Structure 1
Amino acid sequence: MFMAQSGPINMSVVARSTMEFTISAPSKIQKTTPSG
């Protein structure tokens, strides 16, 4: 796999993107779903 080549750098990028998705996902869901 190409992930082994980049090492910690690529892992940090993946972790950052995952964190951003985890943070932004709930807000997007709340916006799309009508509250109450």
Structure 2
Amino acid sequence: MPGSTGIRFAIFALSVANSESATDVGTIQQSIILP
């Protein structure tokens, strides 16, 4: 799916904004990878 990357990036950006913490990036990233 060519659009999957854009969708993941959008979710990642929203998650980072909600977490308001750069240290949570790793956890968020794994959450996106998991189904």
TM-score (norm 2): 0.51
- One-letter amino acid of the counterpart of residue 11, structure 1: T
Q: Which runs of 4+ in 1 moved over 4 A?
A: none
Match for 1:17: what amino acid?
A: I
Match in the other structure for 1:17: 11
Give the greater-gyration-radius structure (CA): 1
User: Among the aligned pairs, what percent are the same residue?
Assistant: 0
Q: Runs of 5+ in structure 1 lacking a partner?
A: 1-5, 27-36
Unaligned runs of 5+ in 2: 21-35
Aligned residues between the structures: 21
Alignment root-mean-square deviation, CA: 1.7
Normalised by the size of structure 1, how large is the TM-score? Answer: 0.50
